[in-house]
Structure 1
Amino acid sequence: MLVFGLLFGGYAKHKQSTEYTAKREITIYHNYTDKKALENTDNGSTSLASDMQMMETYAKVSDDTSIAKQAKKIIKKNYGYKMSASDIKSMLDITSDPQTVVLNVSAKSGSSDKAVAVANSTAIAIKDRLPKMLNDVGTINVMSAANKDTTHSTTGPSAKKYGLLGIAIGFLAAFIWIFWRETIKLDNDNEKEK
């Protein structure tokens, strides 16, 4: 059990890596007065509801390569990193919060600095490019910038979990071995008695 636990735990420790996630939020809406935002439009929905329904479209359009290319330029200029548009796209996850006008830009990387650079630069690129890609987008506000203090990190695989798994496998292997040994010993004793 101890050997399996140490082997599995050591393997997990050797393979461990930390991934950092940086997030930046964007709001996209039309600047109506409160009363007008709640009035029905021609299709029967309110202006605010129409803005909320468009968020998923904005998220999909924001995943376009042209935005990643714009982000690439911003990253190089502001952060000094040389990255390809495909690398940037592979790091990104752009989603919308249901029933809100909030777009979430998340970037994952093995470096907290790169995750922050990609999240911030992509949010700025979305603000710049989205109105050129879609008509009547509305007001785009980029919220507080991501920074190292606001990144979230996850480390895996877990050495403790792998260690416990190794101990469990070791226990099972020991149980099977002891059962097998005792069964053979019992069979041998029976043979001797005959």
Structure 2
Amino acid sequence: MKNVTLNNLMKKYGKPVLVVLIFAILGALVMGVDAKKKKSTTYTASRQIVISHNIPQEMRTMSSGANISIVGEDNNMMPTYKDIAENGTIAQEARKHLSKSMKKKYSTDDIKSAIDAKISQQSLVMELKAKTSSREASVKIVNATAKAMKEELPLLQPGSGKVTLLQKATVNNTDSKTTPSTKKYVVVGFALGALLGLIIEFVIFTVKNFGHKE
């Protein structure tokens, strides 16, 4: 029985392992470069607004539940307010609050695409989010949209609740997201490269053995 040594293993399997490793590294490099070329960063700015009716003092002391009914109606209207916030009409009005330089860069459709309104059950708070490739632009767009909602909602939805603007969005409280992930691309590239190397070595091994038997 032959002694199995590291030298023997390297002679027998060293080349296939090296081929697989080379392909894996090449795959990781290619995918890493591709990720850097595709990499982009988006910035999201948020601002909350409250949409509600002021309940008169005399109604607050009533036990009939009238005040509860008003709050309930406001809650029921939040999905409608969300649709209005994301509508092109609000985007058009929001654009009027932007500077001339901003208007040149962002059309009404651009603003409409950038805005996303979030609501929660049993809450009269709506969170407006603006996502663009610029931190400053996202802040300006979301603040302009909040102003547009305050001005236009009573006109678009008669009888709607009063819009109260909460803290303004600033560049210091924006969120950023960079895609794609270079690390993930490198890992995928390494795995795919290694798989390709294994397939090539398997084909070579099969051909050699088949030829040897013939």
The match for 2:179 is 156
TM-score (norm 2): 0.81
User: In the alignment, residue 147 of structure 1 is paired with which amino acid?
Assistant: T
* Aligned counterpart in structure 2 of residue 39 of structure 1, from 50, 65, 72: 65
Report the Cα offset of residue 49 of structure 1.
1.6
Give % identity. Answer: 34
* Aligned counterpart in structure 1 of residue 76 of structure 2, from 44, 53, 78: 53
Residues 20 and 151 of structure 1 are in contact (CA less than 8 Å); yes or no, is this contact kept in structure 2? yes
Distance 1:36 1:9 in 2: 67
The match for 1:119 is 142
**The residue matched to 2:159 in structure 1 has which SS?**
coil
TM-score (norm 1): 0.89
The match for 1:81 is 102
Report the Cα offset of residue 62 of structure 1.
2.0
Distance 1:112 1:36 in 2: 48
Runs of 4+ in 1 over 6 A off after TM superposition: none
Check 1:104–1:37 CA distance in 2 against 1; reply closer, same or farther (3 A cut): farther
Q: Does residue 3 in structure 1 map to residue 26 in structure 2?
A: yes
Report the Cα offset of residue 100 of structure 1.
0.4
Check 1:36–1:139 CA distance in 2 against 1; reply closer, same or farther (3 A cut): farther
Distance 2:200 2:63 in 1: 73
Distance 1:127 1:90 in 2: 20
Report the Cα offset of residue 188 of structure 1.
1.3
Check 1:40–1:124 CA distance in 2 against 1; reply closer, same or farther (3 A cut): same
Q: Does residue 129 in structure 1 map to residue 152 in structure 2?
A: yes
Query: Where do 5+ consecutive residues of structure 2 fail to align?
Result: 1-23
Q: Does residue 171 in structure 1 map to residue 197 in structure 2?
A: no
* Aligned counterpart in structure 1 of residue 41 of structure 2, from 9, 15, 18: 18
Tell me the alpha carbon deviations over residues 100-141 of structure 1, each in whole angstroms, 9 at most, x when there is no partner. 001111111000000001000000010000011111112211
Distance 2:109 2:141 in 1: 12
User: In the alignment, residue 72 of structure 2 is paired with which amino acid?
Assistant: A
User: In the alignment, residue 40 of structure 2 is paired with which amino acid?
Assistant: S
> How many residue pairs are counted as aligned between the two chains?
186
Distance 2:183 2:79 in 1: 39
Report the Cα offset of residue 46 of structure 1.
2.4
Tell me the alpha carbon deviations over residues 62-104 of structure 1, each in whole angstroms, 9 at most, x when there is no partner. 2232221211110127xx5113211111111123222200111
User: In the alignment, residue 102 of structure 2 is paired with which amino acid?
Assistant: Y
Tell me the alpha carbon deviations over residues 21-59 of structure 1, each in whole angstroms, 9 at most, x when there is no partner. 001111011112555598158xxx722121111111011
User: In the alignment, residue 52 of structure 1 is paired with which amino acid?
Assistant: N
Check 1:69–1:182 CA distance in 2 against 1; reply closer, same or farther (3 A cut): same
**The residue matched to 2:102 in structure 1 has which SS?**
coil
Distance 1:150 1:186 in 2: 65
The match for 1:90 is 113
